[in-house]
A and B are shown apart, each in its own frame.
Chain A
Amino acid sequence: MSLTHLDKLENQSIYIIREAYNQFRNVAMLWSIGKDSTTLLWLTRKAFFGRLPFPVMHIDTSYKFKEIYTFRDKYAKEWNLELLVARNEEMLAAGLGPDKGKFQCCNELKTVALKKAIAANKFAALYLGIRRDEHGIRAKERFFSPRDEDFEWDYKNQPPELWDQYKTKAADEEHIRVHPLLGWTELDIWEYVQRENIPVVDLYFAKNGKRYRSIGCHTCCMPVDSDADTIEKIVEELKTSTVSERSGRAQDKEEDYMMQRLRSLGYM
């Protein structure tokens, strides 16, 4: 018997998840409730034999699809998760939304909300479900990626990372981002969701000729044309699709380097 492609990816991710927990202990996982972070959550449950030894954090902009909130509450209970919900209440009370500028909205309601939550809980590391094939900038990430006290990502001077030996946290580093899914593609995720029967939010499945390939805030996500209403059909669709995954996501397109600027300020 030899390991399949999905087995290898699963093992690589579990190895990274366990390395980070061994080193940091005081960690949390970001759960956007999307397919990637739900897959990461699934792998994390495997790594710790069903019981997560740390909290799961949802960055709530208040503009998420209602299906996302329903799914979150259902599985937080079913999987016995310690759920933290992080919101930038101050800016929400002041009425901030995407209509006031998408860059500011993403930065305040996601990045700033995240900063406050990390400061309040003093997390040394965060697990994130980002993948290299999502965006050219994310393709440059490391598995363990340090952020400084201003949350900046020093992408011009990233630490070397070789042979499953990862960065340890230095005094001037605020926290380490841990990315166990970097090596997975969108197709890998769906094939794994199919193999493992991982539950996902309904929005991914086509209704009336449209489905969401990437989900976030209802204000800034557009569905794509699709008739894929089952996981099998999604897998088939992705094998032939020429549309990029995040084509429905506003923050990737507004201007050339919006993603780089958001990320250098601490965006996910």
Chain B
Amino acid sequence: MIDDNTLSFVIVGHIDHGKSTLIGRLLYDTQSLPPDRIAEMEKASAERGHEAEFAYLLDHLEEERQQGITVDTTQVFFKTDKRHYVIIDTPGHVEFVKNMITGASQAEAAVLIVDVNEGVKEQTKRHSYMLSLLGLEQVVVVFNKMDLVEYRQERFEKVKADALKFLASIKIQPDVCIPISAMKGDNVADKSENMDWYDGPTFMESLDGLKNHKAAEDKTLLLPVQDVYKISDKRINVGRVEAGTINAGDDIEILPTGLKTKVKSIEKFLEERTNAEAGECVGFTTSDAVFLERGAVVCQPGKGPKLSDRVSASVFWMSKKPLSTDQKLTIRCATQETSCKVEQIKERINSSTLEVLEKDAKGLENLDVGEVIIKTKKPIAVKDFNDVQELGRFVLVRDQNICAGGIVT
């Protein structure tokens, strides 16, 4: 019986280490693609004068094929006997790190690819660091292009040791390390005949071992209000239950006002419901005519998150125009939104080498990571990222553009 839950994973790593090729190979070997897509790939490859290029199954933009690089993140679907997957391909070029982050932020697990010939490179490190900042704990590491090093175990062990050492420094413990050749197909869908010395799982087997992200059902209620609709004579508050459950009759407290009331009814179109669980988008009405608006956070009385106008966080800056501590920004955390400044940058960190570039910095450059204190204009409700992710992460917006992501520390 196939598992009902689809698992999404992202593939990251340095440019040319073979991300798109690995996905193309996986789709090809598992016959996940219609024959016309394969034919299109073979034709496009031949027109550019080379053998079947698996990366073309993912790289669809004209620029991507001409330059042989991935520009933007792509999502494709595939399935094994065990379950369905969404594979998120990402670009390995430093120019497109924001696209890599976009892809990775939507994943439940990650695959880090390292070219055994080239070893650990700049983007290998930067991408790994981003995974750790994004809270992706499940990581599979594949060591690609084993065919280029004559499938030698020594080379694999050497690069693996380098990679594990770096990963340990950012607190990533990979589930498994697999020597593969995406181009030739070794240890991707089928066990390689060229590496007798390796007795671990194939790449595909390792995927079946990954686990789905669990909604925070067992926590206390958190429901950030998205909007309020007036439907005939009712005011229906809508939002997604981010943690716990909400039931008709529950006593609730509304942040930031601290007003208390009861849930009068749970509202879903065409359904009779008295409750809703974490992950559900739901409507509700209240017993008293309390004022509710977007950005309010509904919780159990006295058990909600603390309100604060100072947030300690790790942020990654992804705009070419630098950040400075005097700039006015907007912080968005779940549906909460208020203006803010990055008041203090305790450390400015190089996201590839992890080197602390500056203490008490006045700004952040593109791709820098900062350990910061954010001063918000209005107090907001945040949680520790490890407790409830949905209220422990935020973005910073400047001139209508998302410039940074951050994790509450």
Query: A15-B281, A140-B73 in contact; A165/B395 too (CB < 8 A)?
Result: yes
Verify B44–A48 contact, CB threshold 8 A. Answer: no
Q: Is B51 positioned at the interface, with any CB of A under 8 Å from its CB?
A: no
Verify A260–B61 contact, CB threshold 8 A. Answer: yes
Q: Is B267 positioned at the interface, with any CB of A under 8 Å from its CB?
A: yes
Q: Which of A18-26, A94-102, A116-124 contacts B (4 or more CB under 8 A)?
A: A18-26
Which residues of A (154-186) have their CB < 8 Å from a CB of B?
Answer: 155-156, 158-165, 167-171, 182-183, 185
Majority secondary structure of chain A interface residues (helix, strand, loop or mixed): loop
**Alpha-carbon separation in the docked complex, A121 to B283 (Å):** 30
Q: Is B198 positioned at the interface, with any CB of A under 8 Å from its CB?
A: no
Query: A15-B226, A140-B60 in contact; A169/B400 too (CB < 8 A)?
Result: yes
Q: Interface readout for A240-267 with B: 1 if CB under 8 Å, 0 if not?
A: 0111100100000000110010000000
Verify A156–B71 contact, CB threshold 8 A. Answer: yes
Verify B63–A137 contact, CB threshold 8 A. Answer: no
Which residues of A (183-223) have their CB < 8 Å from a CB of B?
Answer: 183, 185
Verify B231–A155 contact, CB threshold 8 A. Answer: no
Which residues of B (55-82) have their CB < 8 Å from a CB of A?
Answer: 57-58, 60-63, 71-77
Query: A3-B277, A8-B279, A160-B318 in contact; A18/B238 too (CB < 8 A)?
Result: yes
- Interchain nearest-CB distance for A213 vs B (Å): 11
A to B contact number (C-beta, < 8 Å): 147
Q: Is A11 positioned at the interface, with any CB of B under 8 Å from its CB?
A: yes
Verify A49–B231 contact, CB threshold 8 A. Answer: yes
Q: Is A14 positioned at the interface, with any CB of B under 8 Å from its CB?
A: yes
**Alpha-carbon separation in the docked complex, A4 to B215 (Å):** 12
Verify B98–A160 contact, CB threshold 8 A. Answer: yes
Contacts of A74 in B (CB 8 A): none
Verify A163–B277 contact, CB threshold 8 A. Answer: no
Verify A140–B294 contact, CB threshold 8 A. Answer: no
Q: Is B355 positioned at the interface, with any CB of A under 8 Å from its CB?
A: no
- Interchain nearest-CB distance for A11 vs B (Å): 5
Q: Interface readout for A45-57 with B: 1 if CB under 8 Å, 0 if not?
A: 1111111000000
Verify B86–A159 contact, CB threshold 8 A. Answer: no
Q: Is A2 positioned at the interface, with any CB of B under 8 Å from its CB?
A: yes
Which residues of B (1-47) have their CB < 8 Å from a CB of A?
Answer: 4-6, 31, 34-37, 44
Verify A247–B99 contact, CB threshold 8 A. Answer: no
Q: Contacting B270 at CB < 8 Å: which of A7, A46, A48, A247?
A: A46
Contacts of A155 in B (CB 8 A): 61, 71-72
Verify A160–B99 contact, CB threshold 8 A. Answer: yes
- Interchain nearest-CB distance for A10 vs B (Å): 8
Verify B280–A3 contact, CB threshold 8 A. Answer: yes
- Interchain nearest-CB distance for A217 vs B (Å): 21
Verify A2–B215 contact, CB threshold 8 A. Answer: yes
Contacts of A171 in B (CB 8 A): 400
Q: Is B229 positioned at the interface, with any CB of A under 8 Å from its CB?
A: yes
**Alpha-carbon separation in the docked complex, A143 to B240 (Å):** 18
Contacts of B84 in A (CB 8 A): 5
Verify B318–A247 contact, CB threshold 8 A. Answer: no
**Alpha-carbon separation in the docked complex, A133 to B37 (Å):** 12
**Alpha-carbon separation in the docked complex, A260 to B61 (Å):** 7
Q: Contacting A159 at CB < 8 Å: which of B76, B231, B402?
A: B402
Q: Is A92 positioned at the interface, with any CB of B under 8 Å from its CB?
A: no
Can you name 16 extra interface pairs (CB under 8 A) apart from A137-B61, A156-B72, A162-B405?
A: A2-B215, A5-B6, A15-B226, A22-B294, A47-B238, A47-B269, A132-B74, A133-B77, A140-B73, A156-B63, A158-B72, A161-B102, A165-B395, A242-B35, A260-B61, A260-B62
Q: 4 shortest A-B CB distances, which residue pairs? A: A136-B60, A162-B105, A244-B34, A170-B400
Residues of A participating in the B interface, judged by any CB pair closer than 8 Å: 1-5, 7-8, 11, 14-15, 18-19, 21-22, 45-51, 132-133, 135-137, 139-140, 142, 155-156, 158-165, 167-171, 182-183, 185, 241-244, 247, 256-257, 260
